[in-house]
């Protein structure tokens, strides 16, 4: 399996649209649509819907169908069947917490780009050998945070990361200043409590503040 130039360019274009990708978990499609609209209105237009609930695919499909001006990816892709399910629901890109071998074949055949996860130097090197230019760094905080990523600039200059896990408003800029960070992923932009209570104004405000951040 290799990472094709066409899909790499598509992924680069997606990641360049935002400093932060909201990582979202929905229990129903209605809250997914409302959250996506609030985030979009606040300036965040690239979203990741995690495949962690029974209604995740339904929510993803509803956002794709009903919310203009957003690019929606599917996260927590763990199995080959998740790839097809996400694509059928309209996902524009796929995100995995790791880069398990069972996903490599399915991801290589998918018509949309894949952002595989890494947490070690060896995993990063293996993806780089296959031609990957981008990788999710997860869980970013426990796996070493900004110092770890900064240390990878010299040996792996061609690889750029989307750190996710343990990132919030207090430390996000420590990641964004690194030259090998394309953007970050985080759930603090749309807190689960705000989603569950329907506090769209709070989400819109957080999105507005976050969209003003800049990656290096």
Q: Which residues are catalytic?
A: 48, 136
The dihedral over CA atoms of 164, 165, 170, 175, expressed in degrees to the nearest 10, equals -40
Query: 72 near 32, Cβ under 8 Å?
Result: no
Residue 197 burial (C-beta neighbours within 10 Å; 0-12, 13-18, 19+): exposed
The kind and range of the H/E element at 48 are: strand 46-50
The kind and range of the H/E element at 47 are: strand 46-50
Vertex 20: Cα angle to 167 and 164 (nearest 5):
35
Query: 44 near 210, Cβ under 8 Å?
Result: yes
Say how many residues make up the chain.
Answer: 216
Neighbouring residues of 95: CB distance < 8 A, sequence distance ≥ 6: 48, 73, 74, 75, 76, 77, 114, 115, 117, 136, 185
Query: 117 near 97, Cβ under 8 Å?
Result: yes
C-alpha separations of 59 from 52, 77, 116 in Å: 11, 16, 22
């Amino acid at each position: 399996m290799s990472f094709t130039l066409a899909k790499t360019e598509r992924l680069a274009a997606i990641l360049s649209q935002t400093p932060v990708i909201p990582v979202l978990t929905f229990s129903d499609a209605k809250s997914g649509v409302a959250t996506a609209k609030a985030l979009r209105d606040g300036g965040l237009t690239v979203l990741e819907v995690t495949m962690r609930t029974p209604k995740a695919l339904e929510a993803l499909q509803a956002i794709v169908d009903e919310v203009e001006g957003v690019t929606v990816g599917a996260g927590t892709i763990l199995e080959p069947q998740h790839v097809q399910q996400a694509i059928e629901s309209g996902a524009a890109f796929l995100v995995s917490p790791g880069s398990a071998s069972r996903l490599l074949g399915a991801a290589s055949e998918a018509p949309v780009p894949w952002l595989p996860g890494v947490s070690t130097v060896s995993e990063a090197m293996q993806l780089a050998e296959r031609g990957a230019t981008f990788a999710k760094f997860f869980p970013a905080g426990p796996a070493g945070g900004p110092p770890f990523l900064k240390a990878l600039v010299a040996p792996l200059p061609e690889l750029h990361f989307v750190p996710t896990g343990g990132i919030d408003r207090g430390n996000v800029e420590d990641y964004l200043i690194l030259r090998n960070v394309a953007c970050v992923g985080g759930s603090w932009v749309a807190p689960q409590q705000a989603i569950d209570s329907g506090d769209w104004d709070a989400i819109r405000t957080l999105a507005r503040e976050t969209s003003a951040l800049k990656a290096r």
